[in-house]
Structure 1
Amino acid sequence: MPLPYTLPRVGSGNEPLRIAVFISGGGSGLAALLKFQAETPRLHNTVLVISEDPNAGGQVFCEENDVTFVGIRLPNISDKSLRRLSHEEEIEVKLVEYDVELIVLSGYMRILTPNFVKKWKGRLVNIHPSLLPKYPGAHAHRDALADGATVSGCTVHLVDEGVDSGQILASEMVEVLPTDTLSDLQNRIKIIEHKLYPQIIDDLCSGKIQF
């Protein structure tokens, strides 16, 4: 039976919840979260950004906001399972070092192992560019267009041992236009993601989300 979720503690002004953001690329979602946190005092603070790519473009936002960026390459191990476990062990060392309490996946393209998820279940959140449970996986926009969908959107959810199958926290709909290309749909949904995700993270850290 899957383990239940253990939500993070409620942050406070004196002790904001300590967040690590995992990214793989340009970090536009990271930038949106950092901007949200800078607008007014929040009950959470991004203390660490981790990527499997030491040259990930998103590190520029870390430099601008005085947030530690750590690039952790996949180790040179031929066995794929051992490689994943070893990589996550290196990540765990950094999470402990920075006293991280909540992990935010933001354009992180690696699938975490069940072992890692179990340790963080309820304190590991993701945003997916579809109205889950429709179109899970890495090609949500392509799948929505191929299916002739008239609506799509984005979904914030807790991460479980499956793929985009965890407890849904919030979603928002976006119309799919007849003329939409993949990039058209992606860009329009991304605008909504950058508004919805920081707000739901804020709700989670302030105790507004309970179940």
Structure 2
Amino acid sequence: MISGGGSGLQALLKHQEGGTRLHATTLVIADSESAGGLSHARDYGVDFVAIPLPKDLKGDERRSAHEEQIMNIIDSKDIELVVLSGYMRILTSSFVSRWKGRLVNIHPSLLPDFPGAHAQKDALEAGVRVSGCTVHFVDEGVDSGPIIEQREVPVLDSDTVKTLSERIKEAEHELYPKVLDDISSGRVSP
């Protein structure tokens, strides 16, 4: 599941194309019809669908209706693992509980430090010397689920949010395919 440009999705699909993978992306779901990552799914011949939030609903009712559409599509495709890759919505507890142990996310910090949407900015403001990325199982909290694996990235004196983000993305693009293979092989379990 994606929200934006899909560089993480592109890295996963490129890994799969290499033939040394134990997992396969069979469906890409975006929360917006304009999500740039949908072009990566198209380029790699992977089924994709955009499911925007319903415009006629508000609040929790809107989120629930949106997630119900997502779950219906996932159920129809025999999906075994739901992978969040730049998906910028907080999932409801009913969605999370339904997929518990089969729902993973990657986050651009060494959790539990710097959860949320501004991890690199928060890391720079805190003055840490090391940041990185974390793959974790998703629970009902924000970036709080059980950690599967982390990769460290040094924070340089000259770093900006942009430069640190780019180096962390490189680490994410190496780590996520590896962890998904580990989950698919049974080497990692919830």
TM-score normalised by length of structure 1? 0.88
Percent identity among equivalent residues? 56
Q: Distance in 2 between matches of 1:25 and 1:68?
A: 17
Partner of 1:80: 59
Partner of 2:185: 206
1:64 aligns with 2:43: yes
Return the letter of the residue paired with 2:116.
Answer: G
Does the C-alpha gap of structure 1 residues 151 and 61 become closer, same or farther in structure 2, counting only changes over 3 Å?
A: same
CA shift, 1:146, in A, is 0.6
- Could you say what secondary structure the match of 2:26 adopts? strand
Larger strand share, 1 or 2: 1
Unaligned runs of 5+ in 2: none
Equivalent position to 1:102, from 73, 78, 81: 81
Partner of 1:119: 98
Q: Distance in 2 between matches of 1:78 and 1:85?
A: 10
Return the letter of the residue paired with 1:97.
Answer: S
Q: Is this contact kept in 1: 2:109–2:119, CA < 8 A?
A: yes
Partner of 1:179: 158
Equivalent position to 1:33, from 2, 12, 17: 12
Q: Distance in 1 between matches of 2:23 and 2:166?
A: 27
Does the C-alpha gap of structure 1 residues 41 and 130 become closer, same or farther in structure 2, counting only changes over 3 Å?
A: closer
Q: Distance in 2 between matches of 1:41 and 1:131?
A: 27
Q: Distance in 1 between matches of 2:49 and 2:31?
A: 9
Q: Distance in 2 between matches of 1:193 and 1:80?
A: 32
How many residue pairs are counted as aligned between the two chains?
A: 190
Equivalent position to 2:132, from 153, 164, 170: 153
Q: Distance in 1 between matches of 2:95 and 2:149?
A: 24
Unaligned runs of 5+ in 1: 1-21
TM-score normalised by length of structure 2? 0.97
Q: Distance in 2 between matches of 1:98 and 1:55?
A: 23
Deviations 1:38-95 (A, max 9, x none): 1115332111000111121111111111101100110124430000000000001110
- Superposed CA RMSD in Å reads 1.0
Q: Following superposition, which runs of at least 4 residues in structure 1 exceed 6 angstroms of deviation?
A: none
Deviations 1:126-165 (A, max 9, x none): 0000000000111100100111111100000000000111
Q: Distance in 2 between matches of 1:152 and 1:42?
A: 27
- Could you say what secondary structure the match of 2:64 adopts? helix
Partner of 1:137: 116
Higher RCO (CA-CA < 8 Å; seq separation 6+): 1
